[in-house]
Amino acid sequence: MSTDLSLHHRRRAPTPAEMAAIPWLALLGANERERAEHELKVGDALTGDFVCRIGRPVTYWFGVVDGLLKMSSDSPDGHSMTFTGVPPGGWFGEGTALKREPYRYNIQALRKSVVAGLPVDTFHWLLDHSIGFNRFVMNQLNERLGQFIAAREIDRMANPEVRVARSLAALFNPVLYPGVGELLRITQQELAYLVGLSRQRVNEALTALATQGAIRVEYGGLRVLDLTALRANVFQTS
DNA sequence: TCATTAAATTGTT
DNA sequence: AACAATTTAATGA
């Protein structure tokens, strides 16, 4: 089930609909945009495919057009630690792209996904030529820093309901993941895998959150009704 | 397009 | 972990 580096296999030019799902294109000037659109590639990643692996040289700056990815790292004892999920509209790897260093984490598809890639050289060229692009990247770095700090707090929480709530709130982040919108396409099994809980525990937590009116549970996805209420679950104990 | 069947997902124990 | 119920996707007329 788990093959390798699918983006490097069946790459193709993005369709207009896929272009529209790339949030930073709209921030570019005409010249920059034309070049970026010309250099952008997309690839289909099947469930279990690796988009990038720790230690591999940087080839692209990646973004999710559709589907769901998982960002994780390997600890020395062989276990892998999941950092976060990456839903549609999310772009990642700018840190390693900036320094042209090897990737520091694995990115794996949790389900069949469409992944876009901007060649590193074009990424640098855009940094040199577009102020809008620089703003996007800076904003991206800042927002993700906030997420990683929040993630450490989430890890310390014992209460499953709170963990699910905060993890969900992170995935609904409109700055990092503008492609998500009101409805996050994620199964309870996938969410369980991301949060590190059993599916039944996640199901229980989701039902409770739905009762609170924070979300609505739908088949194959979750609809956010009150993002503030989701985040506010920090202080709830049971 | 509709009806039937298979597959995926959810809710519950 | 296993099961039944529900929803979606696939198939073929």
Tens-place pLDDT, residues A134-166:
999 999 999 999 998 998 888 888 788 999 999
**Tokens coding A233:** 């679950």
Query: How much is the pLDDT for A9?
Result: 55
- Looking at the fold, whether A23 and A99 belong to one and the same domain comes out as yes
In this prediction, residues A226-231 reach a mean pLDDT of 94
Residues 119-148 of A with CB under 7 A from strand B: none
Task: Give A236 CA → B8 C1' in Å.
Answer: 33
Please answer whether residues A59 and A117 qualify as being in contact, where contact means their C-beta atoms are separated by less than 8 angstroms. yes
DSSP state of A74: E
- Looking at the fold, whether A131 and A49 belong to one and the same domain comes out as yes
Whether A238 is covered by a domain: the verdict is: no
- Looking at the fold, whether A45 and A79 belong to one and the same domain comes out as yes
Length of chain A, in residues: 238
Percent over 90 (pLDDT), chain A: 74
CATH of the domain at A176: 1.10.10.10
Query: How much is the pLDDT for A1?
Result: 42
Whether A237 is covered by a domain: the verdict is: no
Q: What is the pLDDT of residues A10-31, one digit of tens each?
A: 788 999 999 999 999 999 999 9
How many domains would you assign to chain A? 2
- Looking at the fold, whether A55 and A166 belong to one and the same domain comes out as no
- Looking at the fold, whether A163 and A114 belong to one and the same domain comes out as no
For A68, residues 6+ apart whose C-beta sits below 8 A from its C-beta are A85, A86, A87, A109, A110, A111, A113, A185, A186, A190
For A152, residues 6+ apart whose C-beta sits below 8 A from its C-beta are none
A217 touches strand C (CB under 7 A): no
pLDDT bucket at A7, cuts 50 / 70 / 90 = low
Sheet holding A80-86, edge to edge: A50-52, A106-109, A69-74, A80-86
Residue found under tokens 């990115």: A107
- Looking at the fold, whether A95 and A209 belong to one and the same domain comes out as no
* Domain range enclosing A80: 8-150
Query: How much is the pLDDT for A166?
Result: 94
Q: What is the pLDDT of residues A172-196, one digit of tens each?
A: 999 999 999 999 999 999 999 999 9
Among A133, A150, A167, where does a domain finish? Answer: A150
Task: Give A205 CA → B6 C1' in Å.
Answer: 30
- Looking at the fold, whether A22 and A125 belong to one and the same domain comes out as yes
- Looking at the fold, whether A19 and A105 belong to one and the same domain comes out as yes
Among A87, A116, A150, where does a domain finish? Answer: A150
Please answer whether residues A50 and A108 qualify as being in contact, where contact means their C-beta atoms are separated by less than 8 angstroms. yes
Closest nucleotide over all strands to A221 (CA to C1'): B9
For A40, residues 6+ apart whose C-beta sits below 8 A from its C-beta are A13, A14, A19, A22, A116, A117, A118
A206 touches strand B (CB under 7 A): yes
> Residue A181 carries which side chain, given as an amino acid letter?
G
- Looking at the fold, whether A17 and A125 belong to one and the same domain comes out as yes
- Looking at the fold, whether A27 and A121 belong to one and the same domain comes out as yes
Among A99, A127, A150, where does a domain finish? Answer: A150
Task: Give A69 CA → B11 C1' in Å.
Answer: 26
- Looking at the fold, whether A114 and A193 belong to one and the same domain comes out as no
CA distances from A82 to A25, A183, A195 (A): 29, 23, 8
- Looking at the fold, whether A33 and A84 belong to one and the same domain comes out as yes
Query: How much is the pLDDT for A99?
Result: 94
CATH of the domain at A139: 2.60.120.10
